[in-house]
Structure 1
């Protein structure tokens, strides 16, 4: 399936030297998607998120500290991006019939323009996320920085192309992100412990566990098997050790963070909705 947003020829030509230097052969065909999306996320973060939030929830937003406002704006961008990228990824997975016919070799070295498009918008977002995390460590912490760096590495290696097939599958990690952002907003809107937050929390835990832990682990195992098969291939296109190590290390980092964050989310939800024992005893007496 072709990229529905074809690249201008002049941009493809100008991006060739950078692509050759980085050994990212398909990058020139998607530079027109990476750079504008990166700029769009900056624009949303700096201008759209604070202005719209100040109009929709003026009292809540104005009462936030400067640090929390920065975090709020990032959550707005994350919410918008996750809804868009999930829709794009699911459409391409469903409509790109070429992906359905790929064997182990094609899943490692194969490429389709539509898959590259989705990875381009993801790369633009994670490039923005990396900049935001690095410049706001006091807000987001080192875990968010490691996540952004690893996710960006996975996206960029897809332009080699390498594991372009799996890169799109891993985009579906973001299925849980809208619920995560909604949960965070509910805390700030004084809806902590409400029935609405409980329902959203159940949806969050379910989608996070299914998309990141079950689906993500299954896809990681399949990817490791395909890389190992390609690594042992005599002749043809064996996988360079450094490339396999870089991709596996990035993917493993993301997987470990997912399990760590899942534990934190479960504890946070239990803390919000589990009533203290002494409080329950008082109501029974």
Structure 2
């Protein structure tokens, strides 16, 4: 037997043992998705790590002057935004594709779609990576992002376990607003914070944030909490239904906190600069 064949056989045996161990640990916790999709999640994580490390190399080749003017911290943030942008485009695209899927919408507690579940598993790598970024750079991100990331990771473990899949739609559709958020950050790091493109993108971000995060997501969070309070949770493992109700309330609270910061940023983006310009012009005329 060749060395390659031996290595493949050894990896296969190791994978089988890991399958058994992971299922023994997570299946009794009603988290069968971990045992089913842990390889998919691992590959997803490695892909996101690879993109993070490749982003500086590609940027240096494509935008050498812009990248060279960034500070070390901005260069790291740039790479984080590249990964987040690609993920938010991917995430929001498949969520929109399943927006009106009858297998999910007809039974909001127990609705199930195998293809949708697999796509959710492929997205898990990002949330694990994002949580690691929040932990490694806690001083920059803070407790709110850490809570948001941790809740998201466990939430996807539940969603890939044939439970509450419908709620991936209102809870992950907000990634559409993150597309514009990440573009905003990239424009800022590229020195385009005063450009028309920056302002148009910010307006789109604000509209998406209010309509999706503060509107659509909060609406479904409220009715999920109401159903949990009434005990109308079908065959779903009840503690997970409670968790998702708390998750919805927490996300809505965080979104309202962030909305205040966003509105403040919007004021400086659209109005403060023009007022300063008018003030400078008035002084010049005097």
TM-score by length of 2: 0.83
Name the counterpart of 2:81. 75
Gaps of 5+ in 2: 1-11
Q: CA deviation at 1:41?
A: 0.7
Alpha-carbon distance change, 140 to 278 in structure 1, aligned in 2, over 3 angstroms: closer
Name the counterpart of 2:278. 280
Alpha-carbon distance change, 77 to 238 in structure 1, aligned in 2, over 3 angstroms: closer
* 1:139-150 matches, cutoff 5 A: 139-150=140-151
Q: CA deviation at 1:116?
A: 1.3
Alpha-carbon distance between aligned partners in 2 of 1:180 and 1:32, rounded to the nearest angstrom: 30
Which structure has the larger Rg?
2
- 8 Å CA contact 1:191, 1:197 repeated in 2: yes
- Pairwise CA RMSD: 2.6
1:184 counterpart = 2:185: yes
Is the deviation greater in 83-92 or in 13-22?
13-22
Name the counterpart of 1:40. 47
Gaps of 5+ in 1: 1-7
Alpha-carbon distance between aligned partners in 1 of 2:220 and 2:141, rounded to the nearest angstrom: 28
Q: CA deviation at 1:225?
A: 2.9
Picking from 259, 264, 267, the partner of 1:262 is 259
Is the deviation greater in 258-267 or in 13-22?
13-22
Name the counterpart of 2:102. 97
What do residues 69-120 of structure 1 show as CA deviations (whole Å, max 9, x unaligned)? 22111100000011111111112334x43224x2xxx322332212312321
Secondary structure of 1:64 counterpart: coil
Alpha-carbon distance between aligned partners in 1 of 2:236 and 2:199, rounded to the nearest angstrom: 49
Alpha-carbon distance between aligned partners in 2 of 1:83 and 1:186, rounded to the nearest angstrom: 17
- 8 Å CA contact 2:108, 2:165 repeated in 1: yes
Alpha-carbon distance between aligned partners in 1 of 2:141 and 2:179, rounded to the nearest angstrom: 18
Q: CA deviation at 1:182?
A: 1.0
Alpha-carbon distance change, 76 to 282 in structure 1, aligned in 2, over 3 angstroms: closer
**Count of aligned positions:** 268
What do residues 24-80 of structure 1 show as CA deviations (whole Å, max 9, x unaligned)? 13433333322211111111112x211111112212222322222221111000000
